[in-house]
């Protein structure tokens, strides 16, 4: 298994390098517990690791990753909801100040939604993906219809952005999120990252548009 042995080699580099370099930080996190101020909801896609994109240190960011960085709506139905459990933990136990929903370009989950690839999939052949991505079906159908009328619409990107907006709306259906947002104790942010050019865009609550984050090349190493 060459891939797993590569992982173990990575572990050895980490143990001999960053783990020693940040010994004080790891000691504090081990004995004092974690108190990240930010939760990030990101896609499971291997190209969009939020701790790399935001250059954050261990202990700074509580991360939930799933297919297409979706936040499901609040459902008090007694069923198991892994994503909702992570949100509940971050908000009610860690009391984070921010939740960032970060989508990304070329998202496979969004692409599958647009093509309908897993809409009728059988168990073991994509049914879990199909049911998960059904959460954005209304937005998908709207964007498909708009793209059919205007071929210049980039349906992939439009649905990536729409899914981020929907996830932010869904966050507000959780009573413990809504009450903190309304009290000014929690802020929700949308963002979209493109690995092709490294550009991060952030949803501006005033304009309602995703605006590119200013970046100064002269500050680059």
Residue numbers of the site for Zn ion (CB under 5 A)?
43, 45, 107
Q: Where are the alpha helices (DSSP H) in 56-197?
A: 82-88, 108-115, 127-133, 137-149, 155-171, 175-182
* C-alpha to C-alpha distance for 23 and 89, rounded to whole angstroms: 27
Residue 102 or 177: the one with the smaller Cβ distance to Zn ion is 102
The three-state secondary structure class of 146 is: helix
Number of other residues whose CB lies within 10 A of the CB of residue 122: 9
33: left (phi over 0), alpha (psi -120 to 50) or beta: left
Residue 61 or 160: the one with the smaller Cβ distance to Zn ion is 160
Nearest approach in angstroms of CB 173 to Zn ion is: 22
Nearest approach in angstroms of CB 98 to Zn ion is: 21
Nearest approach in angstroms of CB 8 to Zn ion is: 27
Residue 162 or 186: the one with the smaller Cβ distance to Zn ion is 162
Residue 40 phi/psi, 5° resolution? -120, 130
Nearest approach in angstroms of CB 214 to Zn ion is: 25
Residue 102 or 186: the one with the smaller Cβ distance to Zn ion is 102
Tokens of 194: 């493109």
Residue 25 or 65: the one with the smaller Cβ distance to Zn ion is 65
Nearest approach in angstroms of CB 131 to Zn ion is: 17
Cα 200–205–164 angle (5° rounding)? 55
* C-alpha to C-alpha distance for 48 and 44, rounded to whole angstroms: 8
Residue 102 or 188: the one with the smaller Cβ distance to Zn ion is 102
Nearest approach in angstroms of CB 29 to Zn ion is: 29
Largest CA distance in the chain: 59
């Amino acid at each position: 298994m060459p891939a797993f042995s590569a992982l173990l080699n990575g572990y050895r580099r980490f143990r001999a390098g960053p783990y020693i370099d940040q010994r004080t930080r790891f000691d504090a996190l081990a004995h004092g517990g974690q108190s990240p101020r930010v939760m990030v909801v990101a896609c499971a896609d291997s190209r969009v690791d939020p701790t790399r994109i935001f250059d954050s240190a261990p202990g700074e960011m509580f991360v939930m990753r799933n297919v297409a960085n979706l936040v499901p709506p609040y459902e008090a139905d007694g069923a198991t909801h892994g994503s909702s459990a992570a949100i509940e933990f971050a908000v009610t136990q860690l009391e984070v100040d921010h939740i960032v929903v970060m989508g990304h370009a070329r998202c496979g989950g969004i692409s599958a939604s647009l093509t309908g690839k897993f809409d009728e999939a059988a168990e073991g052949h994509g049914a879990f993906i199909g049911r998960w991505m059904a959460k954005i079906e209304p937005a998908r159908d709207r964007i498909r219809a708009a793209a059919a009328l205007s071929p210049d619409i980039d349906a992939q990107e439009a649905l990536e952005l729409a899914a981020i907006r929907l996830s932010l709306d869904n966050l507000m259906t959780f009573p413990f999120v809504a009450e903190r947002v309304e009290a000014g104790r929690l802020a929700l942010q949308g963002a979209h990252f493109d690995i092709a050019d490294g550009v991060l865009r952030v949803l501006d609550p005033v304009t309602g548009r995703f605006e590119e984050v200013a970046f100064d090349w002269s500050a680059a190493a």
